[in-house]
């Protein structure tokens, strides 16, 4: 299992959207080499170039998804639910032995403010089924306000991290903290169902209270 000190390059698959570029900018500021992945290589290159304008000293590159997955020490998926399966089927040969951070939420337009979970239980379990046992899937970042990610300030919400392997969850928690989130162990991968469902609840809250950026805060934890 990769330790946090061994991670130098983070690949973000489907990284041209708000969540992907937001995480990219935060990890780039933390000193990581960032690979932006997209189905279209030119789109990835353009997204990387736009980020580089704001972070001229950062190491940011754009590649087609499969090449991006191959280049990463750790890989994060930031694609819509409709693209999850074809994207994973395309890149899974490049994921063996790696941690895959899956941010997918099973939103079903147009009723994205209604919880609609898949028959498999949750998107994270689908991801694990697709990539196989040689890849460690960890679920995180479903409940963050993507449109606030571009700044370098500490985010006003926590990150819940679910996965079947403690060591892999710990790696993701440390990466989240380097992106200026407070992150928490949230149990096995199946618990991602609660995290994914909560996204629709937060979307509903944000629609009901315009201008809001609802998130999750864990309270009542005794710290050393």
Q: Is the pLDDT of residue 217 over 80?
A: yes
Compute the distance between CA of residue 218 and CA of residue 124 in angstroms, rounded to an integer.
21
Domain 4-208 has CATH 3.40.50.720: yes
> What pLDDT shows up at residue 1?
42
Closest CA to 25 of 13, 40, 15, 14: 15
Bridge partners, 60 (sequence order): 34
Question: Which residue matches tokens 């972070």?
Answer: 55
DSSP helix/strand/coil, 185: strand
Cis peptide before 113 (omega within 30 of 0): no
Closest CA to 68 of 174, 22, 60, 149: 60
Q: What percent of the chain has pLDDT over 90?
A: 88
Q: Is the pLDDT of residue 73 over 80?
A: yes
> What pLDDT shows up at residue 224?
62
DSSP 120-145: TS-HHHHHHHHH-TTSEEEE--TTS-
Q: Is the pLDDT of residue 81 over 70?
A: yes
Least confident of 5-9, 30-34, 72-76, 96-100: 5-9
> What pLDDT shows up at residue 87?
98
Angle, in degrees to the nearest 10, between helices 18-29 and 41-54: 50
Compute the distance between CA of residue 77 and CA of residue 100 in angstroms, rounded to an integer.
7
Compute the distance between CA of residue 23 and CA of residue 146 in angstroms, rounded to an integer.
9
Q: Where are the beta strands (DSSP E) in 48-150?
A: 60-64, 74-77, 99-102, 136-139
- Report the chain's mean pLDDT, rounded to a whole number: 94
For 1-24, write each residue's pLDDT tens digit. Answer: 457 888 999 999 999 999 999 999
Mean pLDDT of 146-152: 76
Q: What percent of the chain has pLDDT over 70?
A: 99
Closest CA to 7 of 76, 73, 99, 71: 73
Q: Is the pLDDT of residue 74 over 60?
A: yes
> What pLDDT shows up at residue 107?
96
Compute the distance between CA of residue 70 and CA of residue 92 in angstroms, rounded to an integer.
9
In the chain, DSSP finds a helix count (H) and a strand count (E) of 7, 8
């Amino acid at each position: 299992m990769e330790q946090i000190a061994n991670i130098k390059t983070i690949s973000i698959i489907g990284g041209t959207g708000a969540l992907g570029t937001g995480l990219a900018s935060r990890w780039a500021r933390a000193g990581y080499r960032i690979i932006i992945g997209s189905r279209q290589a030119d789109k990835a290159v353009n997204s990387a170039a736009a980020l580089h304008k704001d972070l001229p000293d950062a190491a940011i590159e754009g590649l087609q998804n499969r090449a991006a997955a191959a280049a990463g020490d750790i890989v994060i998926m930031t694609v819509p639910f409709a693209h999850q399966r074809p994207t994973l089927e395309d890149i899974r040969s490049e994921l063996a032995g790696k941690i895959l951070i899956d941010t997918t939420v099973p939103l079903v337009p147009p009723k994205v403010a209604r919880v609609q979970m898949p028959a498999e239980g949750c998107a994270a379990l689908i991801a694990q089924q697709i990539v196989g046992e040689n890849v460690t899937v960890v679920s995180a970042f479903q409940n963050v306000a993507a449109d606030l990610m571009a700044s370098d300030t500490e985010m006003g919400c926590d990150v819940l991290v679910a996965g079947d392997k403690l060591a892999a969850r710990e790696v993701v928690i440390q990466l989240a903290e380097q992106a200026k989130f407070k992150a928490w162990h949230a149990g096995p991968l199946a618990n991602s169902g609660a995290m994914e469902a909560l996204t629709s609840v937060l979307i509903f809250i944000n629609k009901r209270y315009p201008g809001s950026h609802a998130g999750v805060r864990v309270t009542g934890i005794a710290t050393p």
